[in-house]
Structure 1
């Protein structure tokens, strides 16, 4: 998924020491994407831009798209990150410049590693299911993996953990000794947790990780009741977390070791300096206008024009730290 804003914010992150458990609700910002899709952008947020290596969290739906085009995001570039597409309802058609062409449904992991550069597009197929509900997540690549070759992984069979009214699907990393097949480049975890009505469980956490919870449905009790569409930052130094639900609920648990590098995130790029991001934008523009060499590649099979990069901001893109 792309940040389709014509004036994207300059997002700069830096290292943070291990902290203590907290309970910090992060506000959402509504952003329109292609077609009829509107998303709640929860990360980066005011005061907090990363949770471990997770640097971007969009939650969308459930939307009734029966009479609408659904998701329509034209080809756009990425560098320096991984995209994690996770659907709860509906279907999305992924195409990228590697030649990947895949329909993604609920419970199936689409993991795209941009590395030194890739382009992709995401669309609701025609015809498509009447409801669309999911999350788009980005993971910042550490320095030693930023120049890796781009790749796309699709995993339909992910490990699950069950316990007294809980079913947890491991998207990335390791949870309760269940390990996702998705390849990661830093210590992190992503888990889809479904809670039946009346569930009351205690799940294990890594004390060296920081965590956040995104509520996607219901009203789970995670250090207090959370409303749907809420992202709650839980901090570090937790070895376990109690989850309860009076009614059926669902959440995404995201965590990882606090990211130890300064990064600049602008539009669809994660870099280490303003000059790197500026060059990545210029190369995309030159490529789509046929005036420069190919870095990202063509998304074959997509009918339409790629996204034009927004203008660079008038201020320098400088690393300034992890929190405002």
Structure 2
């Protein structure tokens, strides 16, 4: 996905390094297209990064009749991985590597931008299920920021029960389960779904920092209610957490080792080096070949916003 042109603030993302936190944070409503808004969990002022996770958007449910509102034209990325997961519905991923991959509920798309890639995400087919899902961005460590771009699609991810709560492991590993998705930093992303009220105990790594993103329903953590479109930051130094689920609840657990260096996010670019952001902005504007072309998309690409002069000067 892309950040909108008017949503181009410079974000300094860094790990909070807070032990045993339980701060509840409201999501921000942000434009995705002229017709569709999303709920942004991070980054925001009170929570900028969790491990390597520097961006989490929750979108939908979008009614089947409004599927065509989901049309994200070709746009570029560097320095990150995008992880896209659908609770329901279907999308089509198109990228400059030549991939055309339908994404259905229960499947996982992972795109490693590395030194540069462009892609589009559009409504694939009209069906009866609403479009409802997540996209996460994971910052790449400095040594991998300039890696070759890549794309992978996984038909299945590990699915298992934690005290009656159904867990799907998207990235990383949990106890004896391991995701097939590539990752470059110790981290985890795992959805949690409960159809009925119950309490589940999750085992955590004390060296990780964590957060729980609530997409539907309500949970209780450390005696605090966390509703849909809210996130609770858990901090680090926890070996476990007890979560009370209400009826029909969906949540996302994200975590990872604190990122060693702050990263800068501008538009769709992430890097520890400001000069890489400035060069990527220039290359996209000038149609340089590093971002390729997204064949098969019917329409024009997204033109990026003007790179800020004050940030450009820092990289000169």
Bin for the TM-score computed over the shorter chain: over 0.9
Partner Cα distance (2:131, 2:269) in 1: 26
1:162-214 per-position Cα deviation (integer Å, ceiling 9, x unaligned): 13321101000011221000010000000011123132221100100000001
Q: Does the CA-based 8 Å contact 2:67-2:126 persist in structure 1?
A: no
Partner Cα distance (1:213, 1:183) in 2: 22
Partner Cα distance (2:148, 2:89) in 1: 30
Q: Does the CA-based 8 Å contact 1:189-1:255 persist in structure 2?
A: yes
Aligned to 1:210: 209
Larger fraction in helix: 2
Q: Does the CA-based 8 Å contact 1:36-1:68 persist in structure 2?
A: no
Aligned to 1:306: 301
Deviation at 1:246, TM superposition (A): 3.4
What root-mean-square deviation, in Å, do the aligned CA atoms of Structure 1 and Structure 2 show? 1.7
Q: Does the CA-based 8 Å contact 1:89-1:131 persist in structure 2?
A: yes
User: Any idea what SS the aligned residue of 1:170 has?
Assistant: strand
Residue ranges of structure 1 left out of the alignment (5+ in a row): 288-292, 320-324
Deviation at 1:10, TM superposition (A): 0.3
Partner Cα distance (2:7, 2:180) in 1: 36
Judge which range, 127-136 or 68-77, deviates more: 127-136
Aligned to 1:322: none
Larger fraction in strand: 2
Partner Cα distance (2:248, 2:66) in 1: 28
Aligned to 1:90: 89
User: Any idea what SS the aligned residue of 1:316 has?
Assistant: helix
Aligned to 1:231: 231
Aligned to 1:183: 182
Partner Cα distance (2:248, 2:7) in 1: 39
Aligned to 1:290: none
Judge which range, 225-234 or 7-16, deviates more: 7-16
1:99-129 per-position Cα deviation (integer Å, ceiling 9, x unaligned): 1111111111100000010000000124344
User: Any idea what SS the aligned residue of 1:66 has?
Assistant: helix
Deviation at 1:133, TM superposition (A): 1.0
Residue 289 of structure 2 is aligned to residue 294 of structure 1? yes
Aligned to 1:285: 285
Q: Does the CA-based 8 Å contact 1:165-1:198 persist in structure 2?
A: no
User: Any idea what SS the aligned residue of 1:284 has?
Assistant: helix
1:29-81 per-position Cα deviation (integer Å, ceiling 9, x unaligned): 21122263210112111132100000001111112241451311000000000
1:106-185 correspondence runs (5 A): 106-185=105-184
Partner Cα distance (1:27, 1:89) in 2: 24
